[in-house]
Amino acid sequence: MPSVGVVGGGQLARMMVPPAIALGIDLRVLAESEGSSAAIAATAVGDYTDVETVLRFAEGLDVITFDHEHVPQAVLAALVEKGVAVRPGPEALAHSQDKLVMRARLEELGLPQPEWASISTSAQLGDFLDAHGGSAVVKTPRGGYDGKGVRVVRSAGEADDWLDVGAPLLVEQLVSFRRELAQLVARRPSGELVFWQVVETVQEGGVCSEVVAPAPGSDGRFGQVAAEIASGIAEGLDVTGVLAVELFETTDDRLLVNELAMRPHNSGHWTIDGSTTSQFEQHLRAVLDLPLGDTGLRDKWSVMVNILGGPATGSIAQRMPRAMADQPAVKLHEYGKEPRPGRKVGHVTASGDDLDDVVFRARAASAFFEN
Ligand code: ADP
């Protein structure tokens, strides 16, 4: 039985469990705490920043992979030194851990991205603003997620609190975009690479709320460009496993890379129900260097809606029966997490031939879990 260890016990690790069972993979999870989302597979609970804890967890496992990108490089290096197969590898992961590292490397690779700079003073931010029409987006290079660590600024002093910390910041042009997209790919260590169709992602307040698969109007040249960008990144950075490339479709018809995730991603949850091979199954296949699965669509359209926050009263479980009865064709996924404002506690996916109907059914099902 091949064995895979996942560092991190969130919903991504949880959703790897069903395909692991189906494929006969021994899946083990190092969770942050008891009662994690992936508790069903959590064989260890401990601190992923502690070298000894992670080395002990890795003993006897074929491959180590991740539910998040926060494992320190020192811990990754210790795993590699012990001969553990770490996938994606530390060098690749550095590009999803630090947005400045990512921007510099994408520039070397000649891939399209917003204009950017590394800044350490408000005067440098002022210069960037002057050169870019007076507005920009400042980002903390590390540790941001769901829009935290991202700020639109219009004057040089607006990032002073972050600059006071003493580490350089990333500043980007404020991109005028029509919509946001995500291109998901999977790559094996031996080089095989597959794509799903590019999807449209809708964000509310920096958090993904809905995904439409495939992105309307993306079948032709446009989908091809997204796939070329993502394969350039997967190969250029030697990524193994699933890679999600978040893209801006600009108002002047270009695709620019926003950021990268080297693991299954929220923009790919629809694949569980809408694709022949889900991103979770594919990630396991890819990190084990097994032949990759077909990425074809099961239906013409799939729409995923996140359940953000969850019910204000009662639990998701209590709301399930009504959602099930009202929308029997919608697939419901809950993450075993306590409801909390803004928290991703589950998602729903509807699929079918008519996009309006699919959107309606997905939203109708998710509404049972709100308020
Ligand atoms: P996070 O790491 O929190 O996901 P992102 O870098 O993806 O942060 O930014 C969050 C959101 O902020 C994006 O989805 C997008 O809507 C907006 N955003 C980020 N960078 C830019 C930019 N350069 N121009 C315009 N909007 C941006």
- Considering the domain delimited by 177-367, tell me its CATH architecture: 2-Layer Sandwich (3.30)
Q: In this predicted model, what pLDDT tens digit does every residue of 164-201 receive, in sequence order? A: 999 999 999 999 999 999 999 999 999 999 999 999 99
Cis peptide before 168 (omega within 30 of 0): no
Instruction: List, as one string, the DSSP characters of 32-60.
Output: SSTT-TTGGGEEEE--TT-HHHHHHHHTT
Both structure tokens of 276: 């022949």
Structure tokens at 162: 């972050």
Rounded to the nearest whole angstrom, what is the distance from the C-alpha of residue 172 to the centroid of ligand 1? 10
Going from the Cα of 300 to the center of ligand 1, the distance in angstroms, rounded, reads: 29
Rounded Cα distance, 266 and 246, in Å: 11
**Considering Cα of 325, then 326, then 329, then 334, what sign does the dihedral take?**
negative
Residue 127 has pLDDT above 90, yes or no: yes
- Residue 316, pLDDT score: 93
Q: How far apart are CA 288 and CA 4, in angstroms?
A: 8
CA-nearest of 69, 233, 36 to 144 is: 69
**Residue that has been written with the tokens 């993904």 in this structure:** 208
DSSP H or E stretch at residue 136: strand 136-139
What pLDDT was estimated at residue 142?
Answer: 93
Class of domain 115-173: alpha beta
110 Cβ partners below 8 Å, 6+ apart?
Answer: none
Distance of CA 68 from the midpoint of ligand 1 (Å): 18
Q: Does domain 3-86 have CATH number 2.40.50.430?
A: no
The pTM is what? 0.97
Peptide bond into 141 cis (omega under 30): no
Mean pLDDT, all residues of the chain: 96
Q: Where are the domains of the chain?
A: 3-86, 115-173, 177-367
- Is residue 137 within 6 Å of ligand 1 at its C-beta? yes
Same CATH fold assignment for domains 115-173 and 177-367: no
Q: How confident is the model at residue 147 (pLDDT cuts 50, 70, 90)?
A: confident
pLDDT tens digits along 24-65:
999 999 999 999 999 999 999 999 999 999 999 999 999 999
Nearest atom within ligand 1 for CA of residue 176: 25
3-state helix, strand, coil in the chain (%, to 5): 35, 30, 35
Pocket probe mutation, ligand 1, options 258, 259, 260, max atoms within 8 Å of Cβ: 258
Q: What gap in Å lies between CA 276 and CA 297, rounded to an integer?
A: 6
Q: Is any atom of ligand 1 closer than 6 Å to the C-beta of 250? A: no
- pLDDT digits over 4-19, tens only? 999 999 999 999 999 9
